Chains A and B, each alone.
Chain A
Amino acid sequence: MSGQLWRRLRSVFLVAGTSILFATGCGSKYFVLHPAGPVAQKELHVIEWSAILTLIVIVPTLVLLAVIVWRYRDKPGNKARYTPEWSESKKLEFVWWGIPILIIAILGAYTGKVTFALTQPPQKDAKPITIYVTSLDWKWLFQYPGQKVATVNYVEIPTGVPVNFELTSDAPMNSFWVPSLGGQEYTMPGMATRLWLEADKGGTYYGHGANFTGKGFADMSFSVIATSQSQFNQWVSQVKAASPALTKATYQKLKQPSTVGKISYSSFPPNLFNDTIWAEGGQYMQNAMPSNSSTVATPTNGAMSGMAGMNQDQKDAK
């Protein structure tokens, strides 16, 4: 009961801060404020708490400003005190060095906690699914190493299952962002980064590249379609049955700068994702990559130790 009230209050605070001025109010278009998964939910918590904690400083500041400017205005007959030489007060200064330090300490600790938590799968109970994401000029390629299918500009995921997006780029750097499900991560050529997301409920979620990549950037939207596990399985078999294969040649064509609609592929060349990363001597970001779910085979080139394979090796060594 009180928890619910508190939650309401918090969203009232937050919305008041940003939407006093406009009539559009807080509809469901405010993706960030209406999370559809545990990651976005955690991030919204941080957003709300940081807003509330800063308001503790901001509101008194604005009130003080209004009161002081009114009370001490230079009008003949103003009887308010005037102390032109008063310029030191250890007590007062202690207060406004102290309170912000306290607030930052609290917020900093909470921020650190969530930052670390977000590098882990959103939940331990369900087995995660891995999807490789490659940003191209100006489209998104998704490969399902487990299901062996691939899509362009849309990605199907099962609800209630943590999704391990492994991200790279075969074009200028972009950023993979699905605001309803959680914050973004850069896609960079020559390396892979990881982003955990999960959808609680079924639906089609808006996604878009968030880092500028030139002329076709504004067209780099994609949909994330979350369905139940069984519908997801059905979709996979449908794609396998009815779609063409993604070959190396089609990939080379797909890579060329252009904008396209949604495409499905029944298969993709094995190691395409790894080969893309290693094409020019890439580097894997091990720090950001806890190794519990990588399913990538070692790269075709034996001279380079594989990206995800390397993580696996290290784990085995321990």
Chain B
Amino acid sequence: MPTALKHFADTYLMWNEGYLIWISDALIVLTVIGIVGALTYLKKWRWLWDNWLTTVDHKKIGIMYLIAALLMFFRGGVDALLLRTQLAQPGEHFLDAEHYDQIFTTHGTIMILFMAMPFLFALFNIVVPLQIGARDVAFPYLNAISFWLFFFGAMLFNLSFVFGGSPDAGWTSYPPLTELGFDPGPGENYYLLGVQISGIGSIATGINFIATILKMRAPGMKLMRMPLFTWSTLGSCLIIIFAFPALSVSLALLMLDRVVGTHFFTMMHGGNPMMFINLFWVWGHPEVYIVVLPAFGVYSEVVATFTRKRIFGYSSMVASLMLITVISYFVWAHHFFTMGAGADVNTFFAVASMAVGIPTGVKVFNWLFTMFRGRIRVTLPMLWTLGFIPNFAIGGATGVMLAAAPGDYQYHNSYFLIAHFHQMLIGGVVNGMLAGMYYWWPKMFGFRLNERLGKWAFWIFNIGFYICFLPQYALGFEGMQRRMYTYPTDMGWGSLNFVSTIGAYLMGVGFLFIVWQVLYSLFHMERDTTGDPWDARTLEWSLPSPVPHYNFAVIPTITERDVWWAAKQRGTTDLLTPSAEDIQAIHMPKNSGRPFLMGFAFFVAGFGFVFNWYILAVIGLAGVALCMILRALEDQDEYVIPVEEVRETESALGRL
């Protein structure tokens, strides 16, 4: 018996692998005990189930996405610090090759798919229905399913660290390295299934928000009156529904190779690994625009609000968003200029990739000229937006440099590339998501975050960023490749790497300041009683903070762009607030536990497939099917909020 136990501990719990695993195990056990204990002690189980796990309210789902994104930001960040610690000096033995490989794989996968994606879904959910005057998204039940598929996909992926082993072939997961012959462990299966499950949720989110934006707008909210964040969401979701299926297909085919023994991407029997690489980037490059367009949307809202000025060149902004949406499909091969395609192919993709720089540059100038002759208030959202511009200028320049194919032959897979995409994804996306979080935080929670701590966080994080990544451009010119777990002393890469590691730690400290800021603000709340703490422009700021669960007691009629600002200027804000006699009973979707259970069933099925435990997989899939059947048989999924209740709520908020 003890030998069997030891076998289990070594094979699945990996207790022979050293202290990182033990610490993680201990932390997980303590966290679980802490959460379960607190919920039991405070008698909050019922509250958790009724208010959160079963909710279909877009605002609560948005908040859950936000919490998940921040937790994953922490996990991905710890991964990054482990990597940078290992690289701080030549010949370091802090991590061995296998652990380093696993950690850079989980870092990349988590940051893109389980941090950036939920972060922007958080903002979609919280903001879009409020901006367009809707009471929820088009398909609230599906929205809950999307969240729980993301959540359980992320859980499955994260579980790999302490149960069975993490994937170790990079977040791009190129075959044949990821085929069974080279990578037999369960780690790669975890990657394939975790990403697959959350990817299904992402596609559903894309469909949901396109439907919401096209069909659920308040009367008078014409397309060209929509706030730019909503426009950017539309662009992003259009890319999602065209790009994510390519990812699903490529992951599914690779999964078949590994589980059933097909030869789509193997080296044998005519398998073609290049096909995976193409499919992966047919999703992978548009994915970059999926995450960056919403950030552009945030900047547009923030800049207009904090300069007290109309956004400059609105139609140009819409045009450039849509242009980027389209061009994003024609650039994927720039991820492998070095794969031996002809000069004609490379030239086409080089020029298309450079062309993306044109609408993007236009956006930057439009933001600048929105500030021009405005009155700039440097609040936290504005600070992150201003920090974004130099980042994006440098990242955009290096992007155009990378797009020039002959240059790319030298940059490809070097630290120059690493520095470039971190500059875009951190300086572009993370800055945008944080700006959005600070901007809409009062709308979500009804209080503002402490500015002083936030400014500390901003400066430490941003200075850390430059210290971390500028040296990496230079390391690229010195010939250092990505994904090397260590490097010899005589290459002379030591000093720049050391500087870079210091920068990474500063970014970590910056993140801790954000955590401190949130905790501090919870205890020293600056309540927002106005609903419009920033003196903002768009419709969501006409609502109280936090927003009642039905959003709008009476759906307003929209007469122009920046409707709330215009109403404030004319003194006609009462047209946008409800009057008692207009209030009618409101139909709202019912809560349901099934999305949660369905996510869990997917988790069970995925877990079964990871270890080829097919009985478990079948049980999980049966659970999924059962949830779908029960949903199909459901007649009553709505309830009515009576007029009196709406009136009571509104007058308690002082709006009647």
Chain B binds chain A: yes
| Interface residues of A, Cβ cutoff 8 Å to B | 18-19, 21-22, 24, 27, 29-33, 40, 42-44, 46-47, 50-51, 53-55, 57-58, 61-62, 64-65, 68-69, 72-74, 78, 80-89, 92-93, 96-97, 100-101, 104, 107-108, 110-112, 114-116, 118-119, 172-173, 175, 177, 179, 182-186, 188-191, 193-194, 206, 208-218, 280-281, 283, 285, 287-288
Known: A214-B183, A280-B269. 16 other contacts (CB 8 A): A22-B495, A27-B492, A31-B477, A33-B477, A58-B393, A58-B397, A62-B390, A69-B371, A74-B308, A88-B312, A112-B350, A175-B412, A186-B340, A194-B340, A216-B97, A280-B270
Q: Which A residues are CB-close (under 8 A) to B473?
A: 18
Residue ID in chain B nearest A167 by CB atoms: B340
CB distance from A60 to the nearest CB of B (A): 9
Using a CB-CB cutoff of 8 Å, which residues 121-145 of chain B contact chain A? Answer: none
Partner of A73, one of B176, B269, B378, B481: B378
Binding site for A on B (CB under 8 A): 97-98, 101, 168-170, 174-177, 182-183, 267-274, 307-314, 316, 336, 338-343, 345-347, 350-351, 354-355, 357-358, 361-362, 364-366, 368-378, 386, 389-390, 393-394, 396-397, 400-401, 403-410, 412-414, 466-467, 470-471, 473-474, 476-479, 481-487, 491-492, 495-496, 499
Decide yes or no: A208 and B369 within 8 Å by CB, A112-B347, A218-B97 being known contacts. Answer: no
List 25 contacting pairs A-B, 8 Å CB cutoff, sorted by A.
Answer: A22-B471, A24-B474, A29-B478, A43-B407, A47-B401, A47-B410, A65-B386, A68-B371, A69-B378, A74-B375, A83-B373, A84-B310, A86-B310, A93-B316, A100-B357, A107-B354, A108-B350, A111-B354, A112-B343, A114-B405, A119-B342, A206-B479, A210-B413, A214-B168, A214-B183
Distance in Å from the Cβ of A269 to the closest Cβ of chain B?
20
Known: A69-B371, A97-B362. A32 touches B389 (CB 8 A): no
Expressed in whole angstroms, the minimum distance between the Cβ of B249 and any Cβ of chain A is 20
Are B273 and A173 in contact (CB-based, < 8 A)?
A: yes
Instruction: Return the 8 tightest CB-CB contacts between A and B, nearest first.
Output: A183-B409, A193-B340, A54-B397, A172-B177, A87-B310, A287-B342, A112-B347, A108-B351
Picked from A188, A194, A208, the residue with its CB within 8 Å of the CB of B273 is A188
Evaluate contact between B412 and A183: CB separation under 8 angstroms. yes
Chain A interface main SS type: mixed
Cα distance A212–B474 when bound, in Å? Answer: 21
* Partner pick for A215 among B101, B272, B401, CB 8 A cutoff: B101
A72 lies within 8 A of B484 (CB): no
Chain A residues near B340 (CB, 8 Å)?
Answer: 185-186, 188, 191, 193-194, 285, 288
Within the complex, the shortest CB–CB distance from A244 to chain B, in Å, comes to 28
Given contacts A57-B361, A183-B338, whether A173 and B176 have CB atoms under 8 Å apart is yes
Contact in complex: B484, A100 (CB < 8 Å): no
Residues on the A chain within 8 Å of B311, using CB: 87
Are A107 and B389 closer than 8 Å at their CB atoms? no
User: Per a CB cutoff under 8 Å, which of A84, A108, A184 touches B354?
Assistant: A108
- Given A50-B401, A217-B484, decide whether A188 and B339 contact each other with a Cβ distance below 8 A: yes
Which partner residue on chain B sits nearest A216 by CB separation? B97
**A100-B358 in contact (CB<8A):** yes
Contact residues in B for A30 (Cβ distance below 8 Å): 474, 477-478
Residues of the A chain whose Cβ atoms lie less than 8 Å from the Cβ of B408 = 183
B474 cross-chain contacts in A, Cβ below 8 A: 18-19, 22, 24, 30
> A115-B347, A218-B484 given as contacts; is B397 within 8 A of A104 (CB)?
no
Instruction: Report how far A188 CA is from B169 CA in the complex, Å.
Output: 16
Chain A residues whose C-beta falls within 8 Å of the C-beta of B486 in the assembled complex: 218
CB distance B373 to A104 under 8 Å? no
A18 vs B408: C-alpha distance in the bound complex, in angstroms?
17
Q: Which of A72, A101, A118, A119 contacts B373 (CB 8 A)?
A: A72
A58 / chain B contacts, CB cutoff of 8 Å: 393-394, 396-397
Q: How far is B174's CA from A288's CA once the two chains are assembled, in angstroms?
A: 22
On chain B, the residues within 8 Å of A85 by CB distance are: 309-310
A208, B479: Cβ atoms closer than 8 Å: yes
Output the least CB separation between A114 and chain B (Å). Answer: 4
Alpha-carbon gap, A216 to B272, bound state (A) = 24
B394: A residues at CB distance < 8 A: 58
- B181 to A: closest C-beta gap in Å: 9
| Bound complex: CA A189 to CA B169 (Å) | 17
Cβ contacts under 8 Å, A188 to chain B: 273-274, 339-340
Contact A61 B368 (CB under 8 A): yes
- Chain B residues contacting A172 (CB-CB under 8 Å) are 174-177, 182
Known interface pairs A32-B476, A104-B355, A188-B273; A21-B373 also in contact (CB < 8 Å): no
Residue of B nearest to A185 (CB): B338
Q: Which residues of A contact B272 (CB under 8 A)?
A: 190, 283
Residues of B within 8 A of A74 (CB): 308, 375-378
- Asked if A213 contacts B177 (CB within 8 A), the reply is yes
Select the residue from B414, B485, B499 with max chain A CB neighbours within 10 A: B414
Knowing A21-B470, A182-B409 are in contact, say whether A84-B374 is a contact too (CB < 8 A): yes
B342 touches A179 (CB 8 A): no
Q: Bound state CA distance, A65 and B357, in angstroms?
A: 18
Across the interface, which residues of B come within 8 angstroms of A213, CB to CB? 177
A288 to B409, CA, bound (A): 15
Structural contact, B404 and A280, CB atoms closer than 8 A: no
Choose among A22, A65, A189, A210 the residue with the greatest number of B CB atoms under 10 Å from its CB: A210
A44 to B400 CA separation, bound complex (whole angstroms): 15
Given contacts A68-B372, A107-B354, A111-B406, contact A116 B268 (CB under 8 A): no
| Chain A residues, Cβ within 8 Å of B307 | 72
Contacting residues, chain A, for B312 (C-beta < 8 A): 86-89
B357 near A177 with CB under 8 A, answer: no
Is the beta-carbon distance between B358 and A104 smaller than 8 angstroms? Answer: yes
A65 to chain B: closest residue by CB: B389
| Contact, CB under 8 Å: A87 / B314 | yes
Q: Which residues of A contact B342 (CB under 8 A)?
A: 119, 287-288
User: What is the chain A residue whose CB lies nearest that of B267?
Assistant: A189
Evaluate contact between A92 and B177: CB separation under 8 angstroms.
Answer: no
Tell me if B481 and A177 are in contact (CB < 8 A).
Answer: yes
Most buried by A among B308, B354, B479: B479
Identify which of B273, B343, B368, B414 contacts A115 (C-beta below 8 A): B343
Residues of A within 8 A of B168 (CB): 214
CB of B255 to closest CB in A, whole Å: 18
> How far is A108 from B483 in the complex, measured between Cα atoms in Å?
30
The answer to whether B314 touches A21 (Cβ under 8 A) is no
- Rounded to whole Å, the gap between the CB of A172 and the closest CB of chain B is 4
A179 to B413, CA, bound (A): 12
Residues in B neighbouring A83, C-beta threshold 8 A: 309, 373
Neighbouring B residues of A101 by C-beta, 8 Å: 358
Q: Which residue of B lies closest to A30 (CB)?
A: B477
Point out the residues of chain B lying under 8 angstroms from A175, CB to CB: 338, 412-413
CB-based nearest A residue for B308: A84
Assess whether B478 is in contact with A100, with CB atoms less than 8 Å apart. no
> With A111-B347, A175-B412 given, is the CB distance from A93 to B401 under 8 Å?
no
Q: Which residues of A contact B170 (CB under 8 A)?
A: 212
B351 touching A112, Cβ below 8 Å: yes
CB distance from A255 to the nearest CB of B (A): 12
B85 CB to closest chain A CB (Å) equals: 16
Contacts of A87 in B (CB 8 A): 309-314, 370
Distance to closest chain A CB from B404 (angstroms):
4
Contact of A179 among B370, B410, B467 (CB under 8 A): B410
Chain A residue contacts of B354, Cβ below 8 A: 104, 107-108, 111
Whether A18 lies near B413 (C-beta < 8 A) is no
A189 to B266 CA separation, bound complex (whole angstroms): 9
Most A CB contacts (10 A, CB to CB) among B101, B406, B484 go to B406
CB atoms of A78 and B375 under 8 A apart: yes
CB pair B338 A21 closer than 8 Å: no
Q: Which residues of B contact A280 (CB under 8 A)?
A: 267-271
- The answer on a CB contact under 8 Å between B404 and A111 is yes
Of the residues A32, A104, A118, A193, contact of B357 by C-beta under 8 Å: A104
For residue B483, which residues in chain A have a CB less than 8 angstroms away from its CB?
212, 217
Chain A residues contacting B366 (CB-CB under 8 Å) are 93
Q: Is the CB of A107 within 8 A of B371?
A: no
